[in-house]
Structure 1
Amino acid sequence: MFNNNNYKVGALALALSMALTACVSDGDDGKQGLKGEQGMPGVAGVEGNDGKNLPRALNVEVVGRFATGIYGKSAAEIVQFHKSSNSAFAINGAANQIEVINLTNLAITEVANPIADESLTSSAFTFPLSVSVINGEGIEKTMPLGAVNSIAIKQDLLAIAVEGQVKQANGAILFYSLNELGEGTFIKAVEVGALPDMVTFTPDGSKALVANEGEPNADYTNDPEGSISVISIVDSFPNNVAKAINLSTDIVFSDDNLVPDDFNTDAKRLAILSKAGVKFAGPAGNTVAKDLEPEYITTSSNSKMAYVSLQENNAMGIINLEELTIEVKALGYKDWGKHQLDFSNKDEVPEFKSIQGLYGMYQPDTIASYTWNDSTFIVSANEGDARDYDGFSEEVRVKDIIDADELNQTLSTELQSQYDESGGKNYLGRLKVTTALGDEDKDGEFEKLFSYGARSFSIWDKNANLVYDSGDDFGKISSAILGNNFNAAHTKNKGDNRSDDKGGEPEAIDIGEIAGRTYAFIAQERAGDLFVYDVTNPFNTAFVTHYNNRDFTVDYEMDDDLADPCDPNEGMDCTHVNEAGDLGPESIKFISAADSPTSKPLLIVGNEVSGTVTVYQVTEL
């Protein structure tokens, strides 16, 4: 019997098979088409600039200079810049006023004689000898004032830090509104702590921060506590009363192994901080708050954190501006067994050696900050400083440690061997060190030596961990260029004069951006060296250039410990100081191209010994 369904299935399968075979088989290719017409040529692209090697070369040149004619009296110290009036503001400690130096017509090429130029002039900004302030209880009182120490400018708001008439008493911050001529209208004065040594504004302008150093008097019978004052500002108008961050109960520790009961007394805080490496040196009755002396403040870009150098203590304070607390971090020590330094001023030549067991305390003075990869980094000028008062001194030369008529103690076998090999009392024996460290077990033998300052600049992360240090660059660069004049004093032209102390003493530092790169500008107080480093990437820092605006052939001598540093009755001679150039750079202020009156990046440097303010133009070569 015929099955119709089977027939239908078979026919369908055959049809599908033929269809698939047809899909697999391609037809013959067609003939090649005619070639189309040539298209219109594209527009030529802009020729790119040649790439630049790193570090980029910078040209540093003097384009203006102001001279007070006052020598050795701190007649040009801290400098700032007011954009609205195109003026540099400089503290004149000798006259206890501020010099306002108009830069509107500043040159854009180097002056004819950078060392002796006096092309800039000033007008005096004065302030009263006493002010009315409101204390913490809301009571108004009159405060007699002493010397001006610091200034800060935020837009048109000027803050002046002035110590009390008695240096150990509370001081004040005087606020002024500045006009387009750089003239000020007094707003108010706010009481702060003892010896306000530095004032700055947060980047958002919401706070003025004050480092109250609290130095003791000469015989150490009056040693006020150091502190940080925080003054709130709303619409450029400061609050009547400052908030204080004390250096006792406001100290915190981030170590989770510590609980509040572990540091709820001064003795406990002192023990923890000492064990961590914070240096304390003072007479009987010394406390943490008395010993810590805030020196210089910088802030994070978001205005939430601040950082303060605690110079004598070889430490940094990390300040939480929202919680008003401070954490004190030891900075550690520089191993001079891994670097080289010149430690004698007797040979009067640059000679660098490593000493095993010798360490440098960083002890930064000026600090500044910048941001890389959204993190804050702090740069420090590692000047060094000793507590050396009539009533207490920690300072001693190495030779005096082993002198029977001085300390009458000993050096370890290794240190004594290096002491002898160096040449003894006129060589390693000349170096000044601290008695507060080195004899850890108090057995009369110094196993280590700790000198003042690190003769360098450093970069620290936001937790005060060391990221970079310039090592022995400063001494070697300066000696290579200045020869025997390196480490010269600033009170006379005598080379190698400061090698036994703290070397060139890096004092001032600021950060600035030029053509997309970030630079650190560091000035040494003694010989007057200016160093420039590319710090764009803090983990890949590089030296860029060096400048020194001084004539070492000029014969002069002064003593800044005298009432008249140029007193001829004391054998001083300042006849030709004005020909010697810039002496004792104390502060640096970087001015960006966007803010500069010449549209070129500038550096303003205050030189306290020569009483000069020098303006440098810094451009890419």
Structure 2
Amino acid sequence: MLRIPTLCALFALAPLACAFELKPLALYQSGFAAGTEIVSVQASSLRVIVSNSAEGLVDILQLDPAKGLQRIARHSLVAQGAGEITSAAFHPQEDMFAVCVRDSDSLKNGRVEFRAAADGKLLKSVEIGIWPDSLAFSPTGDFVVVANEGEGYVRDGEGFRSGEGSISVIDLRGGVAAAKHSVIRLPDLAGVEGATQSEHQRLLERMIGVEELKVPFGTSPEHIEPEYVTFSPDGRRAYVSLQENNAIAVIDVQQAKLSKVFGLGTVRHAADILDDGKYDPSAELFALREPDGLAVSADGRFLISADEGDSDPKIAKTKAGLPSGGGRTVSVFDALSGQLLGDTGSQLDDMAAKAGVYPDVRSPNKGSEPEGVVSFDAFGKRLAVATLERADALALIDLDQPAQPTVLQVVGAGVGAGSGLLAPEGLAYVEKDGRHFLITGLEKSGNVALFELVK
């Protein structure tokens, strides 16, 4: 574990419009060159689980406000070629974590493994849907919801075939040994207002064998790709981003049923769309939101999305009148109705540019690329923090006026921020004794960064 010097000279900081800021505290170095992707923190113990998809393992870290992040265990779970860990989560109270593992065969079901945190012992394995990508425990730990993305494609004659996306609900009320699994099939999204439709003429870049190919994308269950899971504070609802479909699925958790799907519509705001070595937001971006990470505000009223984007075409190849992919925004919706309240417009890229970390090479394709997001209350404010994967940074956002979310700060996630060599991916928040901590996995550097929100 290596301490980060807390000198601002080592981090790109944008001018602040508030009396508090995110400050770097520490850096955990895994010893691997890449792969530290998903993080989850257990508030009661301040233990953090970090998945490493490249190595097939998880690290258990101890968050100590005085000492930073220190590894207390490492568990190797998946042998090379036997699948991939795609997500990990700590149980809210018990000495247990869960990981989802996708099968090496892209059309076969994956599994969720429940394991003891102390020694990694397997407690239960549950077969779920195809190509699971994200999982989360409910606030009480009674349920786990999994987004089965079904992302993999195989050749089928002259065309391609993919597994259906689905959502799994695992009921743990009878204990982990008696875990019950329900699978929720998703409907065709044709006609869902604000969701991706066939007339948008989308393509997806997917690895098929050893080739990255572009495949056509539609609205049928085969083309629905659940991405990320978050819960309402009362645990009654789970929200699942259908990223490529530009929609959100709302799950009745206790009934293990789909309540509704609502589309997310498009953004229009100023943007830099040229890779020319400078930040010049003089063009208008018209794009589908296509969020990855989701969060719910602490009072349960608002759903917040990190609008990363995933589908093609790129801006230069977008046909006139059609939206490109990725809003480059954080958006706020009414959590019950799904009504859009507001978004950050060009602020994420604007503030990244002021901080000196804007990735101009990505201007033609999704900009700073907001990936993950958390929401919490602190110092009398409703806030969100989002990871900006391509800018190697975190963004602090004021949500007190949900119709006008305001980006207060962009801070680099470590030395070399803006180079594209850090890639903050997963993000977790925890409060302890009135102190507010953010933990993010830096996928491309193999490290985990710890920040504190301070006044």
Shorter-chain TM-score: what band? 0.7 to 0.9
Q: Does 1:451 align with 2:324?
A: yes
Say yes or no: does 1:359 pair with 2:277.
no
1:89 shift after superposition: 1.1
Confirm whether residue 272 of structure 1 aligns to residue 205 of structure 2. Answer: no
Secondary structure, counterpart of 2:129 in structure 1 = strand
Q: 2:448 aligns with which of 613, 618, 621?
A: 613
Match of 1:329 in 2: 262
Which protein has the bigger helix share? 1
1:586 maps to what in 2? 425
Name the SS for the 1:471 alignment partner: coil
Contact map agreement 2:386 2:395 (CA 8 A) in 1: yes
One-letter amino acid matched to 2:114:
F
Distance (Å, rounded) in 2 between the aligned partners of 1:218 and 1:526: 29
- 3-state SS of paired residue (1:80): strand
User: Structure 1 stretches of 5 or more lacking a match?
Assistant: 1-53, 109-118, 131-143, 249-268, 387-394, 399-430, 434-445, 488-495, 555-579
User: Deviation at 1:364?
Assistant: 0.3
Deviation at 1:225, TM superposition (A): 0.3
Q: Deviations over 1:312-338 (max 9, x none)?
A: 111111222244124221111112xxx
2:270 corresponds to which residue?
340
Contact 2:140-2:235 at 8 Å conserved across structures: yes
SS of equivalent residue, structure 1 residue 474: helix
Aligned to 2:47: 87
Instruction: Report if the CA contact (8 A) 1:551-1:581 is conserved.
Output: no
One of 75, 79, 90 as aligned partner of 1:125: 75
Q: Superposed, which structure 2 residues align to 1:307-318 within 5 Å?
A: 307-318=239-250
Q: Residue 188 of structure 1 aligns to which amino acid in structure 2?
A: K
Identical positions, percent: 28
Task: Give, as a single letter, the amino acid of the residue that structure 2 aligns with 1:306.
Answer: A
For 1:236-294, what per-residue CA distance to the aligned partner results, in whole angstroms no more than 9, with x for missing partners? 4254441011013xxxxxxxxxxxxxxxxxxxx45433x65433547689662111100
Please give the alpha-carbon distance, in whole angstroms, between the structure 2 residues aligned to 1:231 and 1:377. Answer: 25
What TM-score do you get using the length of structure 1 for normalisation? 0.63
d(CA) in 2 for partners of 1:504 and 1:529?
Answer: 9
Contact persistence 1:512–1:592 (CA under 8 A): no
Structure 1 residue 158, shift from structure 2 partner:
1.1
d(CA) in 2 for partners of 1:384, 1:222: 22
Q: 1:591 to 1:272 in 2, by over 3 A?
A: same
- Check the 8 A contact 1:297/1:308 in 2, yes or no: yes
Provide closer, same or farther for how the CA distance between residues 61 and 523 of structure 1 changes in structure 2, counting only shifts above 3 A: same
Superposed, which structure 2 residues align to 1:178-189 within 5 Å? 178=117, 182-189=118-125
The structure that is strand-richer by fraction is 2
For 1:232 and 1:96, locate their aligned partners in 2 and report how far apart those are by CA, in whole Å: 26
Partner of 2:353, secondary structure, is helix
**2:166 match:** 227
Q: Does 1:385 align with 2:310?
A: yes
Change (3 A) 1:56 1:236: farther
1:199 maps to 2:131: no
1:514–1:592: 8 Å Cα contact kept in structure 2?
A: no
* Letter matched to residue 57 of structure 1: A
Q: 1:473 aligns with which of 343, 347, 354?
A: 347
Structure-2 separation of matches of 1:284 and 1:457: 27
Q: Which of 39, 58, 68 is equivalent to 2:30?
A: 68
1:304 aligns with 2:254: no
**Mapped contact 1:149–1:196 kept (Cα < 8 A):** yes
Q: Distance in 2 between matches of 1:278 and 1:602?
A: 36
Q: State how many pairs are aligned.
A: 419
Give the Cα–Cα distance (whole angstroms) in 1 for the partners of residues 379 and 194 of structure 2. 41
Distance 1:200 1:222 in 2: 28
Candidates 116, 119, 126, aligned match of 1:177? 116
Conservation of the 8 A alpha-carbon contact between 1:467 and 1:538: yes
Deviations 1:572-621 (A, max 9, x none): xxxxxxxx797100011011124xxxx6211111000011101112222x
1:523 alignment partner in structure 2: 387
1:380 and 1:271 mapped to 2: Cα distance?
22
Q: Cα RMSD between the aligned structures? A: 2.8
Higher-Rg structure is 1
Contact 1:129 1:145 in 2 (8 A): yes
| Residues 314, 324 of structure 2: 8 Å contact kept | no
